[in-house]
């Protein structure tokens, strides 16, 4: 009996031991499995927002990124009931993504929501929510003290006694020694202002340093002055932050290599360092007095100034600092209109998979919009250098060698949207410099590109709408909803050694060539890719053969866009600042694709291709939107599995439609069946496409349209 008990006891012990061994093995396996998932599970560990006047930038840091993650950006004004979808995030290094929001109202609070998706799992707060406020329109605050000065001696005395809140008002006349300030600052609420006593602009000259030189200062406003300094820079900021230049005429300053009318440098020397925040607003910046630049961008090389010519209109270099806004300026007559991104090709070059680019290069959040550029010997806008979350939109670009240069740009994204581009000698987007590193993340949407009509010679063989060459490296460029009106080739690639051109996307562009090129082979496309690609440096005489061979432009259109090439009044005859709108017969009308966060507010039946949202389907893009009569009342259930009911309120009797797009922007279904009760429309979607087939689970975008008005929302289908 005791032996049996012992045996039983031993049996139990043996059983328990086996059980625990099995349990330990299972636990270890489960722990290892979970650990393997968690190793790759990602999380948002840092969230940065920047609210500017009409835009917001968002940068997220994603820990444990293994490059299969994606993130969705949504936003709404604080009083709205539903979120709108922003543009998809773009990854720019080993653990950061960025995106931008456009067409926002001034001085308004917005709720921001970011949802991270990772097949390996997500940890931490998800979605991540915050809010950000856009800036109020700029105005000069009331001063604490007004100091009226007349002549250089009184100006020097005022400078030696500067205090926060001072407004130094200059009488008409010339100030030969300029304004030179070191280690003096205003404050956020009480900046130091230099301005005129009346409407006329006092003339500031200067010495070999600059006409206006501020080093180690912050919170200054330079307003309504004329700066003309042939001995040095016009306006020079070094180690500064929170600086404004407004309503000034800055012109014909020191000629020569890499001289500048306005120069911003060395953000690392500011206190605190890399604070940035520069606003350049409503100025005329350029050169009038120098040898004429001819139609072929000579004499000499295009990147060499002619005698008497200042090199840059605006030059930002040596890591000047983030948050640069250049808005509503006229820039002309220099070699490069603006170089805002700093340190082209500077070491170290951070690759797409390297970690923490922002620890090395802090230049980010550029807003460059509503400006006019012309008569630039080389580039109108030279984006070469380091920039994250650049926004270049609604500019008019005239005579130049290349309209916009991204040769190279690290690391993106750069949004280039709704610009009118004409008058270039080589191309609208320069992508061809043999520099280390990979140019990436350029998003080229809704631009109107038109080659200038030439007289002598009739057409230049090196002039194309888009040009790519030299052994440079680039990837992940996206071109959608652009008009490319060529005199020769729409796209020209020449790359016979080194470099590559990968993962670029061309689609929904309207293309046309008048075929004026004297080239022996009348190719309107010449494709460039990696050397081992059999298509590399192959030419195509029509869109169909280009589509078939490359797979690009599956929805592209070939046709005359019917552009108005008349010169806009007030600009020189050789400026090529042309209207570039189109007439009612243009194939651009309603032919574009929906791009998330970019063109929700299209008019008519779809987005118009190009920079202009035509008056034939709505109102011009530049006009302020009016209040829409359509309002979203309810979407239920959302998510849905079989059908979804959408209730819309509208104060008009016009017919109402709902277009439903997938997340790629492809039209899935147009729903027209609805019932109406007073001001309420009820629409039901059964989860099928226009051909009656069930669509897959996922996220869909609905666009409600009624007459010239539209409203967007999101639908979630879970089968």
CA distance linking residue 531 with residue 521, whole number of Å: 22
CA distance linking residue 143 with residue 130, whole number of Å: 35
pLDDT of 290 > 80? The answer is yes
Band of residue 673 on the pLDDT scale cut at 50, 70, 90? low
Q: How far is CA 614 from the centre of its chain?
A: 22
Band of residue 627 on the pLDDT scale cut at 50, 70, 90? low
- Separation in Å, CA 520 to CA 484, 544, 593, 594, 641: 22, 21, 35, 39, 59
CA distance linking residue 113 with residue 106, whole number of Å: 20
For residues 363 and 25, which has the higher predicted lDDT (pLDDT)? 363
Q: How many CB atoms lie within 10 A of CB 104?
A: 17
Least confident among 433-442, 548-557, 568-577, 701-710: 701-710
Which pLDDT tens digit goes with each residue over 417-426? 999 999 998 8
Collapse the DSSP code of 654 into the 3-class scheme (helix H, G, I; strand E, B; otherwise coil) and give the result.
coil
Q: How far is CA 471 from the centre of its chain?
A: 26
What number is the average pLDDT over the span 219-228? 98
Residue 71: strand pairing partners: 116
Band of residue 12 on the pLDDT scale cut at 50, 70, 90? very low
Q: In this structure, what token pair is assigned to residue 65? A: 């990124």
CA distance linking residue 235 with residue 612, whole number of Å: 35
What number is the average pLDDT over the span 208-213? 96
84: DSSP letter:
E
CA dihedral (495, 455, 304, 365) positive or negative: negative
CA distance linking residue 146 with residue 458, whole number of Å: 59
Question: Which residue is listed with tokens 């820990």?
Answer: 63
3-state secondary structure 201-228: CCEECCCCCEEEEEECCEEEEEECCEEC
What pLDDT, on the 0 to 100 scale, is given for residue 32? 46
Give the H or E element holding residue 38.
Answer: helix 2-40
CA distance linking residue 249 with residue 385, whole number of Å: 27
Least confident among 118-127, 138-147, 467-476: 467-476
Question: Which residue is listed with tokens 């009931």?
Answer: 81
CA distance linking residue 455 with residue 453, whole number of Å: 7
- Average pLDDT for the chain: 87
For the chain, percent of residues with pLDDT exceeding 90: 56
Band of residue 634 on the pLDDT scale cut at 50, 70, 90? confident
Which pLDDT tens digit goes with each residue over 596-620? 899 877 877 788 999 999 877 644 4
Phi-psi region of 451 (alpha: psi -120 to 50; beta: other; left: phi over 0): beta
24: DSSP letter:
H
DSSP 584-625: TT-TTTT-S---TTTSTT--TTSPPSSS---TTTS--TTSPP
pLDDT of 339 > 60? The answer is yes
From the list 290, 292, 275, 285, the residue with the least C-alpha distance to 312 is 285
CA distance linking residue 432 with residue 468, whole number of Å: 5
Give yes or no for a contact between 475 and 447, defined as CB atoms under 8 angstroms apart: no
Q: How many CB atoms lie within 10 A of CB 496?
A: 12
From the list 378, 219, 350, the residue with the least C-alpha distance to 293 is 378
From the list 660, 451, 457, the residue with the least C-alpha distance to 561 is 451
What number is the average pLDDT over the span 559-578? 94
Give yes or no for a contact between 234 and 212, defined as CB atoms under 8 angstroms apart: yes
């Amino acid at each position: 009996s005791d032996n049996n008990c012992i045996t039983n006891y031993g049996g139990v012990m043996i059983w328990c031991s086996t059980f625990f061994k099995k349990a330990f093995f299972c636990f270890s396996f489960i722990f290892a499995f979970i650990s393997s998932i968690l190793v790759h599970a990602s999380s948002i560990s840092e969230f940065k927002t920047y609210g500017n006047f009409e835009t917001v930038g968002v940068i997220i840091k994603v820990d444990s990124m293994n490059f299969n993650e994606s993130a969705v950006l949504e936003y709404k004004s604080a009083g709205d009931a539903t979120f709108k979808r922003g543009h998809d995030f773009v990854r720019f290094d080993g653990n950061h993504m960025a995106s931008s929001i456009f067409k926002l109202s001034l001085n308004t609070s917005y709720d921001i929501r970011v949802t991270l998706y990772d097949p390996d799992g997500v940890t931490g707060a998800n979605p991540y929510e915050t809010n950000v406020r856009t800036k109020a329109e700029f105005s000069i605050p009331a001063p604490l003290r007004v100091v009226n000065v007349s002549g250089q001696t009184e100006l020097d005395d005022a400078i030696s006694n500067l205090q926060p809140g001072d407004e130094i008002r200059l009488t008409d006349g010339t100030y030969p020694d300029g304004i030179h300030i070191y280690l003096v600052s205003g404050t956020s609420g009480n900046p130091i202002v230099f301005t005129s006593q009346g409407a006329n602009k006092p003339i500031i000259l200067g010495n070999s340093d600059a006409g206006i030189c501020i080093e180690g200062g912050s919170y200054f406003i330079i307003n309504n002055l004329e700066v003309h300094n042939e001995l040095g820079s016009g306006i020079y900021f070094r180690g500064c932050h929170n600086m404004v230049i407004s309503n000034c005429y800055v012109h014909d300053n020191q000629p020569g290599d890499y001289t500048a009318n306005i120069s911003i440098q060395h953000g690392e020397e500011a206190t605190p360092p890399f604070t940035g925040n520069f606003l350049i607003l409503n100025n005329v910046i350029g050169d009038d007095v120098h040898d004429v630049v001819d139609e072929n961008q000579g004499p000499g090389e295009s990147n060499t100034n002619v005698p008497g010519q200042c090199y840059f209109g605006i030059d930002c270099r040596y890591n000047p600092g983030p948050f640069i806004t250049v808005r509503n300026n006229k820039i002309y007559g220099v070699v490069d209109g603006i170089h805002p991104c700093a340190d082209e090709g500077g070491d170290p070059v951070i690759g797409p998979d390297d970690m923490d680019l922002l620890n090395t290069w802090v230049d980010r959040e550029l807003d460059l919009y509503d400006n006019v550029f012309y008569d630039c010997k080389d580039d109108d806008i030279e984006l070469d250098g380091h920039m994250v979350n650049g926004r270049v939109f609604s500019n008019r670009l005239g005579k130049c060698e290349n309209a916009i240069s991204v040769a190279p740009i690290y690391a993106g994204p750069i949004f280039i949207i709704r610009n009118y581009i004409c008058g270039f000698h080589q191309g609208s987007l320069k992508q061809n410099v043999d520099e280390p590193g990979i140019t990436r993340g350029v998003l080229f949407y809704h631009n109107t590109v038109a080659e200038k009509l030439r007289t002598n010679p009739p057409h230049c063989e090196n002039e194309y709408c888009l040009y790519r060459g030299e052994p440079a490296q680039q990837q992940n460029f996206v071109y959608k909803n652009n008009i490319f009106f060529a005199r020769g080739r729409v796209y020209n690639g020449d790359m016979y050694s080194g470099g590559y051109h990968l993962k670029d996307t061309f689609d929904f562009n309207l293309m046309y060539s008048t075929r004026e090129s004297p080239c022996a082979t009348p190719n309107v496309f010449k494709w460039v890719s990696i050397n081992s690609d059999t298509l590399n440096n192959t030419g195509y005489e029509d869109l169909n053969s280009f589509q078939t061979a490359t797979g690009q432009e599956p929805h592209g259109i070939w046709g005359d866009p019917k552009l108005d090439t008349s010169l806009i009044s007030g600009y020189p005859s050789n400026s090529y600042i042309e209207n570039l709108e189109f007439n009612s017969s243009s194939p651009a009308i309603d032919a574009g694709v929906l791009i998330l966060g970019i063109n929700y507010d299209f008019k008519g039946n779809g987005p118009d291709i190009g920079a202009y949202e035509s008056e034939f389907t709505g109102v011009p893009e530049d006009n302020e939107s009016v209040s829409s009569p359509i309002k979203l009342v309810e979407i239920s259930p959302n998510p849905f599995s079989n059908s979804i009911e959408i209730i819309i309120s509208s104060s008009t009797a016009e017919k109402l439609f709902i277009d439903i797009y997938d997340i790629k922007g492809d039209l899935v279904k147009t729903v027209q069946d609805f019932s109406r009760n007073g001001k309420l429309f009820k629409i039901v979607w059964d989860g099928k496409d226009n051909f009656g087939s069930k669509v897959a689970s996922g996220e869909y975008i609905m666009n409600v349209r009624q007459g010239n008005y539209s409203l967007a929302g999101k639908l979630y289908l879970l089968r």
